[in-house]
Copies of this chain bind each other. A is one copy, B any other.
Amino acid sequence: MELFALADVPEIREGGDLAAVVEERVDLRADDVLCVASTVVSKAEGRTVDLDDVTASDRARAIAQRLEDVTGEAKDPRFAQVVLDESTDLVTEAPFLLTETHFGHVTVNAGIDRSNVPEADLLLLPEDPSGSAARLHEELGVPVVVTDTCGRPFRHGQRGVTIGWAGMSASRDWRGETDRDGRELGVTVESVVDELAAASNLLTGEGDGGTPLVVVRGFEFGDHDGSDNLFREYDDDLIRQALQAWEFPG
């Protein structure tokens, strides 16, 4: 299996044709998966926001005030408003704002970025990342995953995850398969799209590298059932229920 980042990718602007950018730089093969950093998908889709265009509700003001009290850092109520607008559910309000996005992804600040966004204050995640992936998949013919970098419980640091995918299953389902001794497997559902996103992030990086497009060549899904059930629903997510029942003691 081989991974390479596409070179000389231009600055992506609203209306930018990502499929053309890819096709001009690589002859994709049938065994390729294209990994695309969500930041360039969002830019192409014009998902920028200027804070001057936002009016904070009382709710957003209260959230920002609480965050400011708890962290000791100034918080813009308009930023909290944009996070609320991008979210269907709040998981924690303090000491950080952890929410569920409209497409089911639980992440801090609804995944809104302030880096690598010229000409605007904020960059939202794509509205429907799997829809974006599907359009690219249709044009390019290979499986596409749209990635973001985000944190996770229990461990420091961030890593690449998938927020949208098309042309392949999100997970390999190992149920019904057996180990080397014929026993049932403990691990049953392997989220290969997240493993692909993590792998590609090693090349994408987080800074000014200019490498939002990574090809994974020669990944073999293998002869497994697939599953597209990636984001847990509230009723099926005990950690989220625990977090929502909890009150930050600060």
Which residues on A are within 8 Å of B, measured CB to CB?
1-4, 11, 92, 95, 105-106, 113-118, 149, 152-161, 170-172, 174, 177-181, 183-192, 194-199, 201-203, 205-208, 210, 219, 222, 227, 229-232, 237-243, 245-246, 248
Contacts and interface: CB of A to CB of B under 8 A. Distances in A.
Number of this chain's copies in the complex: 2
A157 B195 CA distance: 11
Contacts of A203: 1
A196 B195 CA distance: 9
Contact of A186 (B115, B183, B197): B115
Residue of A186, A196, A208 ringed by the most chain B CB atoms within 10 A: A186
Contact of A190 (B157, B197, B237): B157
Residue in A4, A158, A181, A199 with the greatest tally of chain B CB atoms within 10 Å: A199
Contact of A157 (B153, B191, B240): B191
A202 B231 CA distance: 20
A241 B199 CA distance: 30
